[in-house]
Structure 1
């Protein structure tokens, strides 16, 4: 299978986040790791993220800014299609860190679906959970997945985690993709197309609150279509990585809680990453959680007691040592 070409880097994180003012206390935060791990890094540390209006990308930019400011590390943040592409980029050596949803990670770990062979990665942390969004204008007649038949629907960028889940949601709802007028758009393009009226609905798998959707909801009334009915069939078919989730009232202007599908996100690295580097990266995540959360609210969900649950792949030995040293 032809590997995807790397997407363009979106600047250097320090320049992109020049407005960040790191307090002295943040810069002095103890990482719990000997700073000499930095010497084992490649010349440039590359992080594979997602679309620029999604949480993966914001999280990657914020982490890159901390690494550059705290250690002087040269960091490149890649804009990508998301989980599936990110895992290919780790597999071919283009990326050193990658954000991925657990369902795409399971396919990569066993070599199925979009992966011709297993991808040898390990986890640094479970970082936060994604919620499946089926987004329509507030006045849309779409009440459930079956109402999408005949409509113009974006199922996510090709080789993205969103596309993977959208296909599974449609299958669980007994909706054939050929019954839709499908576009394969990333989150930024999906938002633009719904705003312009060139699509009727789009799928998006992302954390709360996805920045681009927050902005869109300020411009036009939106509604999320409930997806609770597909969760149990998807768990039965694909495993316990899927669970019931709720998008709370008020998110994106919603007037009630919306029951949907949730899946964990994991930060992964090549299995061969030096143990001290993996340790140092995890220590940096936790030592600067407040700074990261100031830019990406989902970073506040980082929790040592939950971050160790990284199924379907094991923790990297360096990460495992960090959690053990932290008495988890």
Structure 2
């Protein structure tokens, strides 16, 4: 397999169920297709979900895992979930051929494919194609209780992490600040992964940080268990402005008790988490990968493997998808009666 970039650019590789490879004969092994899924930081939601999906599509019919009642995936496919900087980095990697697929926020995917928004003047990732919409990603704004921050406006002059370059969170944090009449100069910005920002907050060196991902997020759960936090609402006129200007945002609620010490529901915004690939990927391969994503055994794995797994459904697979479907995925959805 040709690599156009060093794999180390995307951090640690999670080797997932390759039992189909282990129990195949020599001729079958030569036909194995390695399929990478670029996810996000290890403390976020993309990473564990990517591992589940990679596991699901890596056990071909006839493999031990499949025969013993596990997930029966795509024939001849061995998938790996790769930690990365997030949405922007992932779509760029797909565009360059460095990875076969990856996760992206719906807004980032659209802007990349059309060369608009944050990608304006930077060139289109024209061949970006969708496999599936996965689940809604909640925009978290987490503040230390001691900071006194209870609204977006309170961030002014505070130490705030906006996430690292290449992340969809950084893109959205900038849009939210702007909608509330702030910008990066209004705060003391830092650009850290959520687990790093949480460590800084635990040490008293960070007032707030943004994170976009499914709840409950591991880094925030861990932080809340030792440090009093506030889940800050993103609502009111600022939120309405964001929704009005950018069609990919929707109102969202982080339920009461999601994080230790959180009392009451918190209103915020969300974007869709989507699995995307390149038009250059073979139609038959993406068809089999899509089919494996939505089989009954994968359903069991998703339901049991992560709290957001139950939100990943075939019925919502096309929600908020604003870029073209890959022909292989489109073929599956037509057969399933979800598209005409």
Q: In the alignment, which residue of structure 2 is the partner of 1:237?
A: 245
Higher mean displacement: 154-163 or 75-84 = 75-84
Asked if 2 retains the 8 angstrom alpha-carbon contact of 1:134 and 1:201, the reply is yes
- Please say if 1:290 is aligned against 2:290: no
Equivalent residue pairs, number: 304
- Please say if 1:148 is aligned against 2:163: no
Deviations for 1:91-142, whole angstroms, at most 9, x for unmatched residues? 1111111100011112101113246111121111110011110001234311
Q: In the alignment, which residue of structure 2 is the partner of 1:31?
A: none
- Unaligned 5+ segments in structure 1 are 19-37
- Please say if 1:79 is aligned against 2:83: yes
Among 233, 249, 252, the residue aligned to 1:226: 233
| Compared CA separation, residues 41 and 191, structure 1 to 2 (3 A) | farther
What TM-score comes out, normalization by structure 1 length?
0.86
Among 53, 57, 76, the residue aligned to 1:67: 57
Alpha-carbon distance in structure 1 between the residues aligned to 2:266 and 2:212: 14
Higher mean displacement: 80-89 or 267-276 = 267-276
What is the SS of the residue equivalent to 1:69? coil
What is the SS of the residue equivalent to 1:297? coil
Among 154, 162, 171, the residue aligned to 2:169: 162
- Unaligned 5+ segments in structure 2 are 20-28, 61-74
Alpha-carbon distance in structure 2 between the residues aligned to 1:276 and 1:10: 25
Alpha-carbon distance in structure 1 between the residues aligned to 2:188 and 2:214: 26
- Please say if 1:129 is aligned against 2:136: yes
Asked if 1 retains the 8 angstrom alpha-carbon contact of 2:160 and 2:190, the reply is yes
| Compared CA separation, residues 41 and 52, structure 1 to 2 (3 A) | same
What is the SS of the residue equivalent to 2:143? strand
Alpha-carbon distance in structure 1 between the residues aligned to 2:179 and 2:194: 23
Alpha-carbon distance in structure 2 between the residues aligned to 1:72 and 1:57: 23
Alpha-carbon distance in structure 2 between the residues aligned to 1:304 and 1:11: 25
Asked if 2 retains the 8 angstrom alpha-carbon contact of 1:83 and 1:161, the reply is yes
Alpha-carbon distance in structure 1 between the residues aligned to 2:264 and 2:77: 44
Shift of 1:309: 2.5
Shift of 1:298: 1.1
- Please say if 1:10 is aligned against 2:24: no
- Please say if 1:47 is aligned against 2:37: yes
Q: In the alignment, which residue of structure 2 is the partner of 1:23?
A: none
What is the SS of the residue equivalent to 1:188? helix
Compute the RMSD of aligned alpha carbons: 2.4
Higher mean displacement: 275-284 or 304-313 = 304-313
Q: In the alignment, which residue of structure 2 is the partner of 1:56?
A: 46
- Please say if 1:175 is aligned against 2:182: yes
Alpha-carbon distance in structure 2 between the residues aligned to 1:14 and 1:234: 41
Asked if 2 retains the 8 angstrom alpha-carbon contact of 1:46 and 1:94, the reply is no
What is the SS of the residue equivalent to 1:150? coil
| Compared CA separation, residues 284 and 303, structure 1 to 2 (3 A) | same
Alpha-carbon distance in structure 2 between the residues aligned to 1:176 and 1:301: 33
Asked if 1 retains the 8 angstrom alpha-carbon contact of 2:174 and 2:183, the reply is no
Deviations for 1:48-84, whole angstroms, at most 9, x for unmatched residues? 0000011100011112222333456433322111110
What is the SS of the residue equivalent to 1:6? helix
